[in-house]
A and B are shown apart, each in its own frame.
Chain A
């Protein structure tokens, strides 16, 4: 997967539709950014007109607003409430079924058609998030078949950020903003064109069908300036120095009780997080009780029932639940999966109704501020 600037190809902006057409022709369901309920979400799109052209997202802790851009950029926003995990690790999925037969209960795997997704507009932090979820779902002793089926046939079109939101801190987590790996194609948006990098053979094959030419030096320089603009706009920082030991040796720090007075335990941060993977399984049966589906749905460590055990709840206050979430995300994850569980996308800060900022919480435990 070379990312050398020399391989960048010039794709005139309207010709992005050719890419969508080529993917459709290959049977892909294209998921891309589009506006719904005053937010940029990821949903099925068919034409480039459905992209959030000319819109951006203003983000602050507990704040998300769509506003008009001065230009007509198609990917001129940071990240919204959705992440790609909702397509690779669906919020609802049937993991097994059971049928009552004359010979007793028979359990089987449901055979539902697996959607073949092409993801358009995947940010560098999101590529990192997918890589992290790959570790969780594909690289352990047990593989999640639902994730694997979707992941294996997904086509990934990354888009380099050319601007950053106020809650972005990918540079602290070493996950962006430059897309370097994990994509089939990567785009950098210029006012009238995209420069395209190829990340895989299938990416190259699709690209070969489009009207492209090799980008000239000036175009490449313009793309590099656009990408640098994102870097320079990132102001939020998370000091990750020895963060695993910092958090796991401060499990009784008074800050946990303090943040618990603000946290509503609403689960928003875990729902919008692109790496959170906790789930529960519910029994859904027909009226006779003869056919039962085991339905997995996203769960959250902020739910009281999450730690239910034999008549009691292990984490029966918000303090212990917030601590579980943050220590897992930033510390335990390193033990479990070899990297942080945080990619610095800032969603948990934006979508927290009371604006809790985990970078501030870490700083407080570090004894820095506020």
Chain B
């Protein structure tokens, strides 16, 4: 195995994903990671296609779109630097649930999902760190999705600062 790219090591160890990990664990993940670049407008992966990489976005904006019959692509979320993309590469069968598009030039670290999965299985210490960060990320995403679901700015729910005293 070649000498790890020092930039990749730096990028990974300072990312929110690996922040605080012992160096030995970062160094185990580096060999299965690589830097990737996507120009603005390019597709990172398509809905229903198989993708084997877990992405850690370093910079740029990624749009996640889902295809809805008769509505076309609906953008459900955008992701930016520090956020994880394509959990299904690690947790599922690699079939993507949405299409990811680079809305700006995107720089990311791609981690080989099946090799990371193997690593987690054989090295519970690594597995714990990886899965904790993944769970945190999922938890944040779930909370954000719930907030979206609440439709807080809808006109039919109480609002802040229209101050409707005795308004009927």
A and B touch in the complex (CB under 8 A): yes
A positions within 8 Å CB-CB of B? 280, 305, 308-312
Query: Which residues of A sit under 8 angstroms from B167, Cβ to Cβ?
Result: 308, 310
Q: How far is the CA of A272 from the CA of B164 in the complex (A)?
A: 29
B positions within 8 Å CB-CB of A? 156-159, 162-168
Query: Which residues of B sit under 8 angstroms from A312, Cβ to Cβ?
Result: 157-158
Selected A-B contacts with CB under 8 Å, 17 pairs: A280-B166, A305-B166, A308-B164, A308-B166, A308-B167, A309-B158, A309-B164, A309-B165, A310-B159, A310-B164, A310-B167, A311-B156, A311-B157, A311-B158, A311-B159, A311-B164, A312-B158
Query: Which residues of B sit under 8 angstroms from A311, Cβ to Cβ?
Result: 156-159, 164
Q: How far is the CA of A312 from the CA of B167 in the complex (A)?
A: 10
Residue of B nearest to A313 (CB): B158
**Interchain nearest-CB distance for A273 vs B (Å):** 23
Would you list the 10 A-B pairs with minimal beta carbon distance, nearest first? A312-B158, A310-B164, A310-B158, A310-B159, A311-B158, A310-B162, A309-B158, A309-B164, A310-B167, A308-B166
Residue of B nearest to A314 (CB): B158
Q: How far is the CA of A310 from the CA of B157 in the complex (A)?
A: 8
- Interface SS of chain B: helix, strand, loop or mixed? loop
Give 19 new A-B contacts, CB below 8 A, not counting A305-B166, A310-B163. A280-B166, A308-B164, A308-B166, A308-B167, A308-B168, A309-B158, A309-B164, A309-B165, A310-B158, A310-B159, A310-B162, A310-B164, A310-B167, A311-B156, A311-B157, A311-B158, A311-B159, A311-B164, A312-B158
Q: How far is the CA of A243 from the CA of B157 in the complex (A)?
A: 36
Query: Which residues of A sit under 8 angstroms from B165, Cβ to Cβ?
Result: 309
**Interchain nearest-CB distance for A364 vs B (Å):** 32
Query: Which residues of B sit under 8 angstroms from A305, Cβ to Cβ?
Result: 166
Q: How far is the CA of A308 from the CA of B158 in the complex (A)?
A: 10
Query: Which residues of A sit under 8 angstroms from B163, Cβ to Cβ?
Result: 310
Q: How far is the CA of A312 from the CA of B166 in the complex (A)?
A: 11
Q: How far is the CA of A280 from the CA of B168 in the complex (A)?
A: 14
Q: How far is the CA of A280 from the CA of B158 in the complex (A)?
A: 21
Q: How far is the CA of A310 from the CA of B163 in the complex (A)?
A: 7
Query: Which residues of A sit under 8 angstroms from B162, Cβ to Cβ?
Result: 310
Residue of B nearest to A312 (CB): B158
**Interchain nearest-CB distance for A246 vs B (Å):** 31
Q: How far is the CA of A305 from the CA of B166 in the complex (A)?
A: 8
Query: Which residues of A sit under 8 angstroms from B164, Cβ to Cβ?
Result: 308-311
Query: Which residues of B sit under 8 angstroms from A280, Cβ to Cβ?
Result: 166
**Interchain nearest-CB distance for A330 vs B (Å):** 27
**Interchain nearest-CB distance for A301 vs B (Å):** 15
Residue of B nearest to A283 (CB): B166
Query: Which residues of A sit under 8 angstroms from B168, Cβ to Cβ?
Result: 308
Query: Which residues of A sit under 8 angstroms from B159, Cβ to Cβ?
Result: 310-311
**Interchain nearest-CB distance for A305 vs B (Å):** 8
**Interchain nearest-CB distance for A237 vs B (Å):** 40
Query: Which residues of B sit under 8 angstroms from A308, Cβ to Cβ?
Result: 164, 166-168
**Interchain nearest-CB distance for B157 vs A (Å):** 7
Among A280, A305, A310, A312, chain B packs the most CB atoms within 10 A around the CB of: A310
**Interchain nearest-CB distance for B158 vs A (Å):** 4
**Interchain nearest-CB distance for B23 vs A (Å):** 47
Q: How far is the CA of A309 from the CA of B163 in the complex (A)?
A: 7
Query: Which residues of B sit under 8 angstroms from A309, Cβ to Cβ?
Result: 158, 164-165
**Interchain nearest-CB distance for A308 vs B (Å):** 7
Q: How far is the CA of A308 from the CA of B159 in the complex (A)?
A: 12
Query: Which residues of A sit under 8 angstroms from B157, Cβ to Cβ?
Result: 311-312
Q: How far is the CA of A12 from the CA of B167 in the complex (A)?
A: 58
Query: Which residues of B sit under 8 angstroms from A310, Cβ to Cβ?
Result: 158-159, 162-164, 167
**Interchain nearest-CB distance for A307 vs B (Å):** 11
Q: How far is the CA of A305 from the CA of B168 in the complex (A)?
A: 10
Q: How far is the CA of A310 from the CA of B162 in the complex (A)?
A: 7
Residue of B nearest to A308 (CB): B166
Q: How far is the CA of A305 from the CA of B156 in the complex (A)?
A: 18
Q: How far is the CA of A308 from the CA of B168 in the complex (A)?
A: 9
Residue of B nearest to A280 (CB): B166
Q: How far is the CA of A280 from the CA of B166 in the complex (A)?
A: 9
Q: How far is the CA of A308 from the CA of B164 in the complex (A)?
A: 8
Among A305, A308, A311, chain B packs the most CB atoms within 10 A around the CB of: A311
**Interchain nearest-CB distance for B166 vs A (Å):** 7
Q: How far is the CA of A310 from the CA of B168 in the complex (A)?
A: 8
Q: How far is the CA of A36 from the CA of B158 in the complex (A)?
A: 46
Q: How far is the CA of A310 from the CA of B167 in the complex (A)?
A: 7
Among B156, B157, B158, B167, chain A packs the most CB atoms within 10 A around the CB of: B158
**Interchain nearest-CB distance for B165 vs A (Å):** 8
